[in-house]
Amino acid sequence: MSVVNDSVLFLVLRRMRAPLIVMILIYAVSIFGLVLIPGVDASGEPTAPMSFFDAFYFISYTASTIGFGEIPNAFSYGQRFWVTACIYLTVIGWTYSILSILNLLKDDGLQRALATGRFHRKVKNLSEPFCIICGVGETGSLICTTLDQVQMRFVVLDTRPEPLQELELGDYLADVPALNADAQIPGILLLAGLRHSHCKAVLAVTNSDEANLAIAMNVRLLNPGIPVIARAEHAATAANMDSFGTNFVVDPYALYARRLALAMRSPPSYQLVEWLTRVPGTPIPELHKPPTGKWIVCGYGHFGRAIVQHLDTMGLHDDVRIIDPRPTNPDDHLSIVSAGTEASPLIDAGIKNAVGLVAASDNDINNLSIAITARELNPDLFIVMRQSSSANSMLFEAFDANLTMITTQTVAHACLSYLTTPMLSRFIREIEKQPAAWAESLIKALTPICAGCVPFVWTTRINRVKTPALAQALHNVDCPVSVAALMTSNRDRRETLKLLPLMLERAGQIILRPAPDLPLHNGDKIIWTGTREAWNEQKLTASYGNALNYVLTGKSSTGSWLGKYLNG
């Protein structure tokens, strides 16, 4: 902090150096003149000039326009002439100084220094767990909104002022420390609280793979104990991040390709994953059933390659056709060199007999053109589109493809899942192993709880810090506590909270959909889904003995003597 204060002071002194020198010279010349010019007494006889103190006193209140009117003696004509000149001279000096101060207040350097100081003070005073978000574009904004909903603090860094201005206008529950700075600079990350005791994670979600790589590397070297979640849109960048131990690398294209393959194998499983990974409170996505058969992939970049790879693993190698404007090596697939925006290359690829098309180029307008032309040629086609910019959302919504891969949302959902509920990634892997009937039964149980909106997902860790009342109750072996205790309302124990246990982890072993009568143990970790109200009520039950005692016994008690007296 002293470095920030020193920079502000140095900047002020440097910008005000000339005005200060001018004012000092004006005061010195004015005082020196009054000390040299003789005065006059009441009878008109010459007297000695003013003393230095009297001259300084007179110039001080005259130059500052206070004008007390108090003088030791009447002035001589010489003194009056000199004072007149001094008045005009000091007015010019003060005008110059005031204008310099106004220019200083508008100085970009000073504003940055002051903003940095305010930012550092806010970060230093944080007393709750927080994460550092590097990049607050479309992905970062979505992450900020969701973290605010789950009551997790965050600090924001971005090189562009516009997203930060939009952030200031956002309706967030808590104040958001934000700084217009480059997170690739190690000192900026330290200023953002990288070594703060409450810093829990760093998210590198800028639009630049190079920047995200630099941020991940800086965090790994400056504070290896802090988890790093980084976005990487190129396989080489992802491999580089993995090589030095980045905790979670989000490759949106590989991730979505895996989800598309899951949707083809088991549509209910895909729907369940979508319900659990989207932003809570948003409308539930509808069920999609991508068909198996002949597929055409337009665009053989990173996304197209990932799609083709998963189609191959499903045994569809001979049914895949690739259209790309660049000469490629499509791994023995039939390929056509074209952008795919005209009808002829689509017809050559067999669009009329195809069951699905993936518009996977990096240009949104080209993807829309491909999809429109393909649908005219084959109205029954299942269309998957890649959307790179949310600015084109209205166009993609108007077209209404069967599935749309929005890059920013895919990255945001993956980051949030890992950050807020690390167990969710493991649960999703378990979903992929289960049959479709298992996912259908879970969706059926979850539907009345959701009420048409994406549910909240959270993790309960049973220990003395997170759940003090529950942890203490579990020490009593004569009175076991089951999962049902965390599913019961502490307002009316006859009611069940709107939530479901998804998975319990105990000593490295997992139990899917634990039964309500399963006894709990200290150290258990449970992942839940349900409403936010149920989550808050469950936290209250696990944290306060009176609420837990009512849930277990039906007896309402209070810790105060007055409450005990009133309850008999």
Q: What is the 3-state secondary structure (H, E, C) of 392-410?
A: HHHHHHHHCCCEEEEHHHH
Q: What is the pLDDT of residue 102?
A: 84
Question: Rounded to a whole number, what is the distance in angstroms from the first to the last CA of the chain?
Answer: 57
Half-sphere exposure at residue 33, Cβ-oriented, CA atoms within 13 angstroms: 20
Mean pLDDT of the chain: 87
CB 150 within 8 A of CB 456: yes
Residue 29 placed within a domain? yes
CB 319 within 8 A of CB 346: no
Share of residues in the chain with pLDDT > 90 (%): 44
Residue 468 placed within a domain? yes
382 has which bridge partners? 356
Strand 228-231 relative to strand 320-324, pairing: unpaired
Residue 565 placed within a domain? no
Share of residues in the chain with pLDDT > 70 (%): 94
- Distance, in Å, from the CA atom of 566 to the CA atom of 568, rounded to the nearest integer, reads 5
CB 179 within 8 A of CB 136: no
- Distance, in Å, from the CA atom of 356 to the CA atom of 381, rounded to the nearest integer, reads 5
Residue 568 placed within a domain? no
Residue 443 placed within a domain? no
- Residue 242 sits in the same domain as residue 268: no
Q: What is the pLDDT of residue 1?
A: 47
List C-alpha distances in Å: 515 to 81, 151, 424, 460. 100, 29, 19, 16
Number of structural domains (the chain) is 4
Once rounded to an integer, what is the mean pLDDT over residues 242-246? 88
323 has which bridge partners? 298, 336
What are 263's two structure tokens?
């949707």
- Residue 271 sits in the same domain as residue 412: yes
Place of tokens 């808050």: 536
Once rounded to an integer, what is the mean pLDDT over residues 341-367? 92
Helix (H) or strand (E) holding 300: none
Q: Which of 339, 343, 345 shows the shortest CA–CA distance to 326? A: 339
What are 515's two structure tokens?
């039964």
Of 77, 106, 135, which residue sits at a domain end? 106
Q: What is the CATH number of the domain that holds 262?
A: 3.40.50.720
Q: Over the stretch 211-242, which tens digit does the pLDDT of each residue have?
A: 999 999 999 999 999 999 999 988 889 889 99
Q: What is the pLDDT of residue 510?
A: 92
For the four alpha carbons of 66, 46, 81 and 50, in that order, the dihedral sign comes to negative
Global pTM reads 0.73
Q: Over the stretch 372-410, which tens digit does the pLDDT of each residue have?
A: 999 999 999 999 999 988 888 899 999 989 999 988 888
- Residue 194 sits in the same domain as residue 92: no
Residue 441 placed within a domain? no
Provide the residue range defining the domain that includes 501. 455-553
- Residue 397 sits in the same domain as residue 285: yes
CB 324 within 8 A of CB 298: yes
| CA 26, chain centre distance (Å) | 54
Place of tokens 């007494």: 41
- Residue 150 sits in the same domain as residue 263: no
Q: What is the dihedral of CA 118, 120, 121, 126, to 10 degrees?
A: 130
Go through 445-465 and write b for each residue having 16 or more CB atoms within 10 A of its CB, e for each that does not: ebeebbeebbbbbbbbebeee
Q: Over the stretch 26-72, which tens digit does the pLDDT of each residue have?
A: 989 999 998 999 888 777 778 888 888 888 888 888 887 776 666 66
CB 229 within 8 A of CB 250: yes
Of 40, 71, 106, which residue sits at a domain end? 106
- Distance, in Å, from the CA atom of 192 to the CA atom of 179, rounded to the nearest integer, reads 8
Q: What is the CATH number of the domain that holds 20?
A: 1.10.287.70
505 has which bridge partners? 510, 525
Output phi, psi for 406, to 5 deg: -95, 110
